[in-house]
Amino acid sequence: MNERQSNLLHNRRVEFPFALFYATFMTYAACENASNGAFMIMPPYKTKMVEPIRILTKKERIVKIRRAGYNLFFLKSEDVTIDLLTDSGTGAMSEHQWAALMEGDESYAGSTSFFRLKKAVADILGFRLVIPTHQGRGAEAAFNKAVLKKGDIVTGNSPFDTTRAHIEHVGATIVDATCKEAFSFKNTSAFKGNVDIKKLERTLKQCGDTVAYVLLTMTCNSMGGQPISLANIKDVARLCTAYKRPLYYDIARFAENAFFIQEREKKYRTWSVHAIVREMMKHADGALMSAKKDAIVNMGGFIALRSAELYGRISPYSILNEGFLHYGGMSGRDMEALAVGLHEGTEEKYLRHRVGQTAYLAESLHRMNVPVIRPAGGHAVYVNAGLMLPHIPWNNFPAQALAIAVYIEGGIRGVEIGSIMEGRDPNTRESRRAHTELLRLAIPRRVYSQEHLDHVIETFRAVAHHKKRISGVRFRHEAPILRHFSSTFRLA
């Protein structure tokens, strides 16, 4: 057996055959890293069941997208070839998860499945108390209703849209303290999900008890899926202790974040992902989880806590909307699959392949001069459509135009994260201009192969070829809230 074969079998990194390209981006990552996209990594799983993909012709796709009002949310999934709309709830469960479904205990109270979930949360994350919820936003709703009041402030790195909406819904305000590197497209720092510690301290000093809590989103979805370092987590925790403010995490993608820490933070290179996860979690008073991401289930979530007092305060809100404390909107079988998924989602071999896929896509696009956020985040590649299509003004939504073009060209569905999603200013009713016009290509877990990603890369090559001919879009019908979901468009 030669070295390459041995590497493949042991799930080690295998060199991508472009030495030059490899040398160019070594500046931000050590050469051993999976997350620099220089290696193709063998998936540590094989296929047992397949789901056919329907492949339409380009002509057919032109008709489909026109009928969908040029909004990709209105496409039928059967008309999509590679669906990169989201990595949320779109992962493939393992044989162990499917087997666990059979053991679901559907009792309303005292379900064995709940206690199995509780044990998995304690084993992986170290939190003793768990409130299950139907998905992440169920956890956000119950938690924020219980801990926030009008006029409060929440600060930390940039929260996800639904988190922001739940915080603002109870009349609280967010002070975004994401580090400035995150806002620079050119910056290739390893931890662009970090908090600006000086800004955080200023807020804590100036706002005192008005700061209800500090929230760290890991990885930071709103900032390109970028990770936060353990050094930064510890600095934030130190400030929270000093200013006596509680610290909570949004852990939708905590395992990917832990893997980045292992790869990029020298001090933790020899630590296992499990040990890093425990080290991350030990600083938090609690965590909110959308299990549809790193726990690789199609539906589910939870709130994990240490304090019985807080558990008691949140419980009524969860019972009101989610269900009794031993199921919270999930069936017993869902909790079984989630318990298994928490273990599988933190396996290093799986994570190496997963993060490697995202990096491979990002670096391949970058090599073709498609502008993407680098280094790639854990779950998605973010294309800077404003830079790629400079002839389209921001209010003709270049990222939506690019999304339409890549759907027509290759049947790929991404999502606009730009000025359509920004919406309108609630006071002036003016359209808000996004900081960057991004098209997000989120990669579902354990679903697509190298060949599928190569199809995405080839599609972008073709689109880049005729990019000057791509036109922007204007609203046909503009939805009053969360307009990206349900507005329709016409070509500008």
Binding site for ligand F0G (CB under 6 A): 86, 88, 135-137, 160, 162-163, 217, 221, 250, 252, 290, 292, 301
How far apart are the C-alpha atoms of 213 and 440, rounded to whole Å?
A: 29
Q: State both tokens at 356.
A: 């490697």
Nearer to ligand F0G, 221 or 318 (CB): 221
Measured CA to CA in angstroms, residue 37 lies from 100, 107, 255, 363, 445 at distances of 34, 46, 19, 6, 17
Reduced to 3 states, what is the DSSP secondary structure of residue 238?
A: helix
Nearer to ligand F0G, 113 or 221 (CB): 221
C-beta of 462: minimal distance to ligand F0G in Å? 26
C-beta of 140: minimal distance to ligand F0G in Å? 7
C-beta of 130: minimal distance to ligand F0G in Å? 16
Beta-carbon count within 10 A of 481 CB: 9
Nearer to ligand F0G, 29 or 251 (CB): 251
Nearer to ligand F0G, 378 or 398 (CB): 378
**What are all long-range contacts of 432-437, with beta carbons under 8 Å and residues at least 24 apart?**
433/394, 433/395, 434/394, 435/183, 436/185, 436/384, 436/386, 437/384, 437/385, 437/386, 437/394, 437/397, 437/398, 437/399
How far apart are the C-alpha atoms of 201 and 386, rounded to whole Å?
A: 34
Reduced to 3 states, what is the DSSP secondary structure of residue 289?
A: strand
- Region of residue 208 (phi > 0: left; psi between -120 and 50: alpha; otherwise: beta): left
Burial string for 177-192 (b: 16+ CB within 10 Å, else e) reads bbbebbeebeeebbbb
C-beta of 432: minimal distance to ligand F0G in Å? 20
The distance from CA 371 to its chain's CA centroid, rounded to whole angstroms, is 20
Q: Which residues are catalytic?
A: 108, 160-161, 250, 252, 293, 484
Nearer to ligand F0G, 292 or 467 (CB): 292
C-beta of 414: minimal distance to ligand F0G in Å? 11
Point out which residues pair with 331 in neighbouring strands.
none
C-beta of 321: minimal distance to ligand F0G in Å? 13
How far apart are the C-alpha atoms of 149 and 276, rounded to whole Å?
A: 34
| Closest listed residue to residue 347, CA positions, set 90, 33, 94 | 94
Q: State both tokens at 459.
A: 């599609």
Nearer to ligand F0G, 38 or 402 (CB): 402
Nearer to ligand F0G, 239 or 295 (CB): 295
Q: Does residue 82 contact residue 410 with C-beta atoms inside 8 Å?
A: yes
Nearer to ligand F0G, 38 or 82 (CB): 82
Tokens 């809100």 sit at which residue? 317
C-beta of 332: minimal distance to ligand F0G in Å? 19
Measured CA to CA in angstroms, residue 489 lies from 66, 84, 434, 477 at distances of 9, 21, 18, 7
C-beta of 175: minimal distance to ligand F0G in Å? 18
Strands 39-40 and 380-384: unpaired
Reduced to 3 states, what is the DSSP secondary structure of residue 367?
A: helix
Q: Crossing angle of helices 230-242/197-207, nearest 10°?
A: 20
Nearest residue to ligand F0G, scored by beta-carbon proximity: 136
Strands 247-250 and 211-217: parallel
C-beta of 441: minimal distance to ligand F0G in Å? 11
Nearer to ligand F0G, 160 or 191 (CB): 160
- Region of residue 120 (phi > 0: left; psi between -120 and 50: alpha; otherwise: beta): alpha
